[in-house]
Amino acid sequence: MDLGASSHVAEPLDHEVQPTPRFLPGPPAFSDIERSVIQLSRKDPPASIPDLQGFQYQADGRDLGPRRPTSRPMRRRQAGPESGWRIRADVMPRISSAIQTEGDQSGLIALAALSVCAGAATGAIVATFKRSLEWIDRRRSEVIAQAHHWHFAGFLLVIMGCAAAVAVAAWLVRRFSTYASGSGVPEVEAALAGILPPARLRHILLIKYVGGLLSIGSGMATGPEGPGVQMGAVSAHLIGATFHRPPSDVQALVAAGAGAGIAVAFNAPIAGAIFVLEELVRRFEMRVVVAGLGASSTAILISRLLLGNGPDLHFAASGQTVSAISPLPYAAAATWPLYLALGVLAGIMAIFYNRSITGALSVVAGIQKWPIEAKAASIGVLVGTIGWFGPELIGNGDNISQRILANTPAAGGIMIMLVVRFCLGPISYAARTPGGLFAPLLAVGALLGALLGCLCQAAVPTLAIEPQAFAVVGMAAFFAAVVRSPVTGIAMVIEMTAAFATLLPMLVACFAAMVVTNLLHDPPIYVSLYQRFTAELECTGISNDRARRPGSAPNRNDSGHA
């Protein structure tokens, strides 16, 4: 029983024992409460239990005064094979957390060592996956360029090749592992919540690798971090299970492995570690922190040995003085209201983007007469058609972000790319092939920020406005608005671009984006996808009793309203 995370109260069993109100002669010592709660967690009926309902205490045993009587008293089972005690989880959460921490210290060294192993495995797998994708992207562009010499026959070759690759990826997912579809984040969250048996994840590794290369390599607007998250989580789970670690350690390793996959996909180790706490487990636990840091740092070490050092995105700022630590200059105070407006715009656009993703999934799922391979192939035909006329418009989006930061196009060209990518991302994700959301939405954020930067530069030429700086800030703001993980987004973009001078504008824009999305009661994208996934699990017969996201409060969504 996890007294610190669960918020359930035991249902009435055979009879209830109404506690007799009484006063303790003094505040109980911490050791007494510790022994009582440990007995409760083992479900052994203790000889005597302090009156935890009458008073509340801090972890040091100081009396905080009488607390309001609870409407539902403590209940006890009758003696028998299933006898035991249960207690409200909101009683002394600090003590239960302290007991859990003290009891878990014994295996911390083993957990740290295994997190390094999980990070090394994740780094090698995701780095080779990323390198393979880069090679496929180059070959795809060369094939499209060569096919233009063959006119209509070349056009058919391109669209049929894209359709075939996406269809094969969809077939692999349907035939061998349906849990390998999409970004993988909802599946990892379900495994951490305990509603998806970890054994079901063991067959994902190969399907995610091969299917991701086929679907993303064909030009689908999905990112490599989706396969990276699941491949890292599965690798970490296999390592924990091989060494027979307790379930709590295995869960910490699964979360750490997923964060290491994010770290390698974007060359952002800090963002990978933060992603574990901010999105996956949604609470601060020292063991999870240790595992996350160990896995992310080791994964980046291995990936940089294979891929090289340096940030993922490079750009040249226009003739202004650049700071010693950033390729972009510090933002002038007069431009801060513009960054605030960018955050508001990013928040509004993110709402439409999230609803486009869920809407596209619903539309594709509603076409029940078509097999999943035919649906995926039709989306592949669309991607191939767009790639024929604009090869730079398809793919995971890294090339678009790089182009915006290196040499910002005119506002008209940015507008066309923004419209195409805004629509293509949700449609590609609806194919249910392996692929993530981060890289495409970062490209949309870069386009949105660059467009506003170009317009502001033309409207107010006296201000020192850098469209590239607006693009960088737009990436972080749009990420924060869509995923609702602003710290992860800020750390990720800074690590990808090394644009440390844009930190304060990022904070301003992310603040505005978070306010807008929460005021308009738009749920984060992974909340919506998690709800869809758990509903599918319930339809397939897997118990949905614990289908609450790890670390989230009961009966509340992640946007903060009931």
Quick check: is 321 in a domain?
Answer: no
For residue 80, the 8-state DSSP code is: S
DSSP assignment letter at 559: T
Closest CA to 484 of 420, 529, 426: 529
Sign of CA dihedral 48, 54, 58, 61: negative
CB 451 within 8 A of CB 414: yes
Query: Which residues, including other chains, have CB under 8 Å from residue 328's CB and lie 6 or more apart?
Result: 317, 322, 466, 468, 469, 472, 499, 501, 502
Domain identity same for 82 and 118: no
**Cα dist. 377→161, 374, 431, 515 in Å?**
10, 5, 8, 39
- Asked if residue 221 is part of any domain, the answer here is yes
pLDDT score for 42: 44
Co-location of 43 and 124 in the same domain = no
At 550 the pLDDT is 55
Pair (351, 401) in one structural domain: yes
Q: What's the pLDDT at 410? A: 86
The per-residue pLDDT for 537 is: 79
- Is the distance from CB of 266 to CB of 241 less than 8 angstroms? no
- Look at the chain and report how many structural domains it folds into: 3
CA dist., res. 484 & res. 481, Å (int): 5
What confidence score (pLDDT) does residue 182 get? Answer: 85
Q: Token pair 């990276």 is at which residue?
A: 228
Residues 82 and 122 in one domain: no
Asked, for residue 372, whether it belongs to a domain, the answer is: yes
Instruction: Indicate if 437 and 481 belong to the same structural domain.
Output: yes
* 537-557 CB burial, b ≥16 within 10 A, e <16: beeeeeeeeebbbbbbeeeeb
- Domain check: are 303 and 339 in the same one? no
Asked whether residue 183 falls in the same domain as residue 282, the answer is yes
Which domain covers residue 269, as residue numbers?
107-307
Q: Are 213 and 177 within one domain?
A: yes
Based on the domain organization, do 113 and 87 belong to the same domain? no
Give counts: helices (H), strands (E), the chain. 19, 2
Answer yes or no: is 250 within a domain: yes
Q: Is residue 327 part of a domain?
A: no
**Whether 451 and 367 share a structural domain:** yes
* Position 494 in a domain: yes
- Residue 167, in any domain of the structure: yes
CATH code (residue 255)? 1.10.3080.10
Domain assignment present for residue 462? The answer is yes
Mean pLDDT by 10-residue block, N- to C-terminus, for the chain (562 residues)?
Answer: 41 45 43 44 42 38 44 42 36 36 66 95 95 94 93 93 95 89 87 72 83 94 91 93 90 93 93 91 88 94 88 65 62 89 96 95 91 94 94 91 86 93 95 93 95 92 88 96 94 91 93 95 92 82 51 42 34
Q: What angle do CA 307, 291, 308 make, to 5 degrees?
A: 10
Report residue 76 CA to chain centroid gap.
40
State residue 105's pLDDT score. Answer: 60
Of 272, 307, 342, the domain-final residue? 307
Question: Please, which residues bridge with residue 218 across strands?
Answer: none
Same domain, yes or no, for 443 and 470?
yes
Torsion angle in degrees (nearest 10) through CA of 490, 233, 554, 181: 90
Angle at 548 between CA 367 and CA 99, to 5 degrees: 160
Q: What is the number of other CB atoms lying within 10 angstroms of the CB of residue 195?
A: 19
Domain shared by 86 and 115, yes or no: no
* Cβ(430)–Cβ(361) below 8 Å: yes
Structure tokens at 263: 């770290």
Q: Would you state the structure tokens that stand for residue 199, as one six-digit string?
A: 């054994």
Predicted local confidence at residue 431, as pLDDT = 93
Q: Can you tell me whether residue 56 is helix, strand or coil?
A: strand
Contact 493, 401 (CB under 8 A): no
